[in-house]
Amino acid sequence: MDAELRDPAGATAERQSAQDLVELWLSLAEDRLREAADSPSDQARWREAIQAVTPPEESATEPSFVTFLSGARVLLHCLLDAERPGPPVGAIADRVRKLIKDGEYPAGAWLPVGRIAAESGCLTASVERVHLALRDLEAEGLVTFSPSSGRARVVGEARKPDRPAQIAGWLRVLIRAGVYPPYSELPTSQPLARGLVAKVQDVSAALHGLAAEEILNYRRGRRPLVKPWLPIDVAPPPEIADLAQEMRGLVTGEVDLSSANVRMTCHRARVWWHSRLTPAPDQLEDTFRTLVGAALDLFEFFLETRDSCQDADTVTLLRRTGVTALAKMPDDAQERVWRTACLAVAVLEVQVAATALARRREFIRRAWTATDATAGPALCPPDAPVNEIDGRGIS
C-alpha cells in the first residue's frame, strides 16, 4: 500500500505484470474446475480460487494489490496440489463411502486423514484432498466434524462392546487350549488385567461370569482356580516345541527382530488399542507377524535351555503366548487390535523371563568357574554360550 502511494505508476505496472502471469494459470484452473464435477467441495474450492484473481467488472471496486497477490498464491497452491500424484477428490470420497458402508469404518469411528491419504495413494502434502472428500461425505450425512478438534468421524453412536464378555470369551479359549488346564490357577485380577490389556473391573466381571458357568472357582483377592470337571471340552496342555513348530509356519519373509524394532512394534500395538485406533489391515497384519516372529525367536531360546531352568509360571506364559499367536483372529476389527495388543504384552513378558533366565545361567556359569567344581552335573555346563539371546529382540 505504501508503494502505491509513493509510486502509483510503478505499482500499477507491477499489478499488471502479476495479472498477466495469473492469466496464464486461469485456463488450467478452469480445466480443473470442470474435472471436479463429481465433488461439490472441490468445485467450490476452485471457484473461490478463480474468482479471487479474476478481474472485476468495470462497476465493481478493484481489490487491493495485496488481496490480489494472496488470491494468486492460493490459486498456485491449488494448481500445484492438483499436479501431485494420487486420485482426485471424488475418487477418495467414493472409497471412504464404500468403507463406511462395508463396516470398515463403523458408526462413531474416527476417520484418520493421514491413513486415508496413504491408502488412497496420495502424498502427505495432499491431505487437503481427503479433507475435501470428507466434506462431500458430510453433505451426504455420512460424516460429521467435531466442533472442538475438527476431526471427522462416521455419523452415529459407536457400538460399545461388552468387555467382560469379550474377556471371558478369550479366557475360555485359553482354558480350552490347555493354557490353564483343570485344577490350575490363573493370575489374580491385576496381573491378569495387565496381560489382557484390560481394566481390572472388566476382568473381575469376566471371572465372575466364568464362575457362574462352573468353569472357575473365584473369590475376590484369591487366584481363580479352574475346576477339575468342566462343562466344556479342553485339550491337554500343549508342548512348547509343538507351539513353536506351528508358529514357524506363520512367519514368512523377512522380519526385523532387532531389539529396537520389537520394542517399537509392541508399543505401537498397545497404543492402537489404548487409543481405540483401527489401523490399515495390512499394517495390522505386518505388526502381528512381527510379534509372532519375536515370540518364535524367544521360544527357540527357551527350547535350547534345560527343563530344570523353567518354572511352571514360565511354561504357562509361553503357552499363553503361543496360543495367542496361533488362535484364529476375530472378525471384528477392534477385537483384532485387542488380540494384537495381548500378543504384544505377552512378548514383552517373555522377554523379561528370558532375560532373567539368561542372567541366572550366567551367574551359575561364573560360580562354576570360580569354584572349579569337579563333582556332580551342573545346572548349566560351563561351555554354554555366555549370552544366548543376543540379537533376539531382547535388551
Q: What are the tens digits of pLDDT across the range 14-66?
A: 777 777 788 888 888 899 999 999 999 999 999 998 888 887 766 556 677 78
Confidence of residue 125 (pLDDT cuts 50, 70, 90): low
Residue in the block written with cell 474435472: 35
Task: With respect to residue 292, please indicate whether it lies within any of the assigned structural domains.
Answer: yes
State residue 266's pLDDT score: 96
Residue 5, pLDDT score: 45
Q: Does the CA dihedral 266-267-270-276 come out positive or negative?
A: negative
pLDDT at residue 232, rounded to an integer: 92
Which range marks the domain in which residue 120 is found? Answer: 89-154
Buried-exposed string 375-387: b where 16+ CB fall within 10 A, e elsewhere = eeeeebeeebeee
Q: What is the mean pLDDT of the chain?
A: 84
262 assigned to some structural domain: yes
Q: Are residues 21 and 118 in the same domain?
A: no
Q: What pLDDT is recorded for position 204?
A: 94
Let me know the angle formed at the C-alpha of 12 by 11 and 17, rounded to the nearest 5 degrees: 100
For residue 310, pLDDT beyond 80:
no
Sign, Cα dihedral of 244, 247, 248, 251: negative
Q: What CATH number does the domain containing 181 carry?
A: 1.10.10.10
Residues 258 and 304 in one domain: yes
Residues 47 and 170 placed together within one structural domain of the fold:
no
Is 385 part of a structural domain of the chain? no
CB atoms within 10 A of CB 87: 16
Nearest to 322 by CA among 305, 306, 339, 299: 299
Choose between 93 and 113: higher pLDDT. 93
Cα 257 to Cα 89, 270, 324, distances in angstroms: 39, 18, 19
Residue at 49 is within a domain: yes
Q: Do 271 and 314 fall within a single domain?
A: yes
Please indicate, yes or no, if residue 320 is contained in any of the structural domains.
yes
32: nearest Cα among 44, 20, 21: 44
Rounded distance between C-alpha atoms, residue 113 and residue 145, angstroms: 12
pLDDT band with cut points at 50, 70 and 90 for residue 382: very low
Question: Is 330 in contact with 183 (CB distance < 8 Å)?
Answer: no
Mark whether 109 and 201 lie in a shared domain: no
What is the average pLDDT across 338-346?
A: 97
* 179 vs 187: CA distance, rounded Å: 12
Paired with 125 in beta bridges are none
Work out how many domains the chain is built from and give that number.
4
Q: Is residue 387 part of a domain?
A: no
pLDDT at 2: 46
Asked if residue 184 is part of any domain, the answer here is yes
> 166-222: per-residue pLDDT in tens?
999 999 999 999 999 999 999 999 999 999 999 999 999 999 999 999 999 998 778
Whole-prediction pTM: 0.68
Which of 202, 226, 250 terminates a domain? The answer is 226
Query: Of 83, 108, 128, which residue is a domain's last?
Result: 83
The distance from CA 43 to its chain's CA centroid, rounded to whole angstroms, is 34
Within this chain, do residues 138 and 180 fall inside the same structural domain, yes or no?
no
Q: Does some domain include residue 206?
A: yes
Neighbours of 256 (CB within 10 A): 13
Same domain, yes or no: 361 and 280: yes
Q: Among 172, 178, 204, which Cα is nearest to 191's?
A: 204
Same domain, 12 and 115: no
Percentage of the chain beyond pLDDT 90 is 47
